[in-house]
Amino acid sequence: MAFYVQKFGGTSVGTVERIAAVADKVKAFRDAGHDSVVVVSAMSGETNRLVSLANAVMEDPTPREMDVLLSTGEQVTIALLCMALNSRGCPAKSYTGSQVRITTDSTHTKARIQSIDEGNIRADIAAGNVVVVAGFQGVDELGNITTLGRGGSDTTAVALAAALKADECQIYTDVDGVYTTDPRVVDSARRLDKITFEEMIEMASLGSKVLQIRSVEFAGKYNVPLRVLSSFQDGPGTLITTEDTSEMEQPLVSGIAFNRDEAKVTIKGVPDIPGVASRILRPVSDANIEVDMIVQNTGDDNQTDFTFTVHRNDYKKAMAILEALQVELGARKVVGDTKIAKVSIVGVGMRSHAGVATKMFERLSKEGINIQMISTSEIKISVVIDEKYLELAVRSLHSAFELSGNSEL
Ligand code: ADP
Ligand code: ASP
Ligand code: MG
């Protein structure tokens, strides 16, 4: 007998017919003698719809009220799924995050889980119920509803799997596993049988939204076996696992991630004196803006050009901060670009190989794609390019590193 936490994403519960199909699947699992806790997302498109409603009412919606609003999406699907299970003769009980008592900090719209009181769930399972929990939400110590950031149902599932010591956390979605890159962009992308936690964290943080970053970090930290599978077809999916050191030859590159959500801002001609970088970045971080890549360039004239990337939602705020700094620091000008994209190659195999960056840059140059920024770590290389070349870059790197279905790794 196995005990799994099974999470079904937005597309998997996007219509009543699909909710019925999920109920059939959960019931079949239970009829085979296993236990499960099910986590569901809101119906696909629902969270976006709620966000637009909020934006139509208020320019910068109050975070606390945003969470009250967004958490309703998941409350609908837990109730519907339980009804679907009940109508099949399967006892099931729904819980919102606050009913379980998934306690988080109070950072509205991107709260972090602090603890889970799993007593109710255990008692319900022992009484023969399937327990269905709303993903993406919790409650802070004062009883305020919180949400865990977009894609946060994955993190609810992993956190429950850790708290309940489940045998596996299964993430059912609209693709049958983690691919070498987004299969919607590259037709020949290949499903990976397994990928390391370290690589999956990089892929997720560099833009592959198949799993929320925090869910992978959590699974790695608490050793939760994590698997991505299709809701619509049977198959082994992709297991996210610790590095297998018995495999002598790691592939050089395991996957390609990309991100269209960033914008680039530059302050040019800043006098090159100590402390300039911190004077530029201090007001940016005080405004709660996360900075990703940073490049600083000093010419012969003792003047520095300082460039960094931020989320596109923060572009206007970042530009306004730099424009104020331009006067204060005596800089020459401030420029920005929202039409950029970041493409990254990821692989633990890079650690032990030289020349991976050269191969990447040569391929991009062969395609006539100009690299605007570069950043590297032991297991990834990222470049910022013009957004209009994104798909070309991803496809040609996918082929340069022989990642497609037909090639041997
Ligand atoms: P859910 O609603 O089930 O949480 P998501 O939309 O969050 O589903 O995640 C699944 C999507 O992730 C896929 O439809 C796919 O387009 C996208 N994706 C991006 N990168 C990858 C990748 N490397 N492998 C698989 N899917 C990916
Ligand atoms: N419904 C939330 C979202 O769309 C959480 C999730 O689906 O994981 O981001
Ligand atoms: Mg998701």
SS3 320: helix
* Ligand nearest to the backbone CA of 203: 1
Give whole-number Cα distances, 353 to 181, 316, 358, in Å.
Answer: 21, 40, 11
| Distance from residue 150's CA to the centre of ligand 1 (Å) | 13
Q: Scanning the structure block, which residue is given the tokens 């560099």?
A: 206
175 lines ligand 1 (CB under 6 A): yes
Q: Rounded mean pLDDT of the chain? A: 94
Radius of gyration of the chain (CA): 23
Residue 74: pLDDT above 50? Answer: yes
| Distance from residue 7's CA to the centre of ligand 2 (Å) | 11
| Distance from residue 52's CA to the centre of ligand 1 (Å) | 22
Residue 406: pLDDT above 60? Answer: no
Q: What is the pLDDT of residue 409?
A: 35
SS3 361: helix
Q: Provide the pairing of β-strand 113-116 with 102-104.
A: antiparallel
| Distance from residue 362's CA to the centre of ligand 1 (Å) | 29
Q: Strand ranges (DSSP E) for 111-186?
A: 113-116, 130-134, 137-139, 145-147, 168-173
Q: What is the pLDDT of residue 247?
A: 61
Residue that wins the pLDDT comparison between 242 and 305: 305
182 lines ligand 1 (CB under 6 A): yes
Which of 153, 127, 129 shows the shortest CA–CA distance to 39? 153
* Ligand nearest to the backbone CA of 151: 2
Angle between helices 213-221 and 153-164 (to 10 degrees): 10
Task: List the strands of the sheet with 373-377, edge to edge.
Answer: 255-259, 340-346, 380-386, 373-377
| Distance from residue 32's CA to the centre of ligand 1 (Å) | 29
Q: pLDDT (tens digit, 9 = 90+) per residue, 272-299?
A: 888 999 999 999 999 989 999 999 988 8
Average the pLDDT over 103-126 and give the result. Answer: 96
Q: What residues line ligand 2, using a CB cutoff of 6 Å?
A: 9-10, 41-42, 47, 73, 135-136, 150-154
| Distance from residue 151's CA to the centre of ligand 1 (Å) | 10
213 lines ligand 1 (CB under 6 A): no
Q: What is the pLDDT of residue 407?
A: 41
181 lines ligand 1 (CB under 6 A): yes
Burial class (CB in 10 A: 0-12, 13-18, 19+), 209: middle
Which of 300, 190, 293, 286 shows the shortest CA–CA distance to 238? 190
Q: Residue with the nearest Cα to atom 6 of ligand 1?
A: 210
Distance (Å, rounded) from C-alpha 340 to C-alpha 315? Answer: 12
Q: Strand ranges (DSSP E) for 159-284?
A: 168-173, 194-196, 226-230, 238-241, 255-259, 262-271
151 lines ligand 1 (CB under 6 A): yes
Q: What is the pLDDT of residue 126?
A: 94
Give whole-number Cα distances, 331 to 271, 323, 340, in Å.
Answer: 7, 9, 24
Q: What is the pLDDT of residue 299?
A: 82
Burial class (CB in 10 A: 0-12, 13-18, 19+), 158: buried
| Distance from residue 152's CA to the centre of ligand 1 (Å) | 13
Q: Provide the pairing of β-strand 333-337 with 340-346.
A: unpaired
Phi and psi of 320, rounded to 5°? -65, -40
Q: What is the pLDDT of residue 266?
A: 97
Tell me the domain boundaries of the chain.
3-174
Burial pattern 331-357, b for ≥16 Cβ within 10 A else e, equals beebebbeebbbbbbbbbbbeeeeebe
DSSP letters of 179-194? BSS-TTT-TT--B-SE
Which of 201, 200, 206, 182 shows the shortest CA–CA distance to 309? 206
DSSP letters of 22-69? HHHHHHHHHHTT-EEEEEE-PPTTHHHHHHHHHHHH-SS--HHHHHHH
The second-level CATH assignment, the architecture, of 3-174 is 3-Layer(aba) Sandwich (3.40)
Q: What is the pLDDT of residue 356?
A: 93
Residues 6 or more apart from 116 whose CB is under 8 A from it? Answer: 100, 101, 102, 103, 159, 160, 163
Cα four-point dihedral sign 215, 220, 223, 224: positive
Q: 16-20 — which CB contacts under 8 Å span 24+ positions?
A: 16/80, 18/231, 19/77, 19/80, 19/81, 19/84, 20/84
Average the pLDDT over 144-165 and give the result. Answer: 97
Q: pLDDT (tens digit, 9 = 90+) per residue, 345-375?
A: 999 888 878 889 999 999 999 999 999 999 9
Burial pattern 55-75, b for ≥16 Cβ within 10 A else e, equals eeeeeebeeeebbebbbbbbe
Q: pLDDT (tens digit, 9 = 90+) per residue, 180-193?
A: 999 999 999 999 99
Q: Which ligand 1 atom sits closest to the C-alpha of 173?
A: 3
341 lines ligand 1 (CB under 6 A): no
Distance (Å, rounded) from C-alpha 172 to C-alpha 194? Answer: 16
Q: Residue with the nearest Cα to atom 7 of ligand 1?
A: 210
Q: What is the pLDDT of residue 408?
A: 37
| Distance from residue 107's CA to the centre of ligand 2 (Å) | 17
How large a percentage of the chain has pLDDT more than 70?
Answer: 97
Best mutation site among 153, 211, 215 for ligand 2, i.e. most ligand atoms within 8 A of its Cβ? 153
71 lines ligand 1 (CB under 6 A): no
150 lines ligand 1 (CB under 6 A): no
Cβ neighbours, 10 Å, residue 135: 31
Would you give the DSSP letter of residue 176?
Answer: S
Q: What is the pLDDT of residue 402?
A: 92
| Distance from residue 70's CA to the centre of ligand 2 (Å) | 9
Which of 232, 187, 241 shows the shortest CA–CA distance to 394? 187
Residue 249: pLDDT above 70? Answer: no
Q: pLDDT (tens digit, 9 = 90+) per residue, 25-65?
A: 999 999 999 999 999 999 999 999 999 999 999 998 999 99
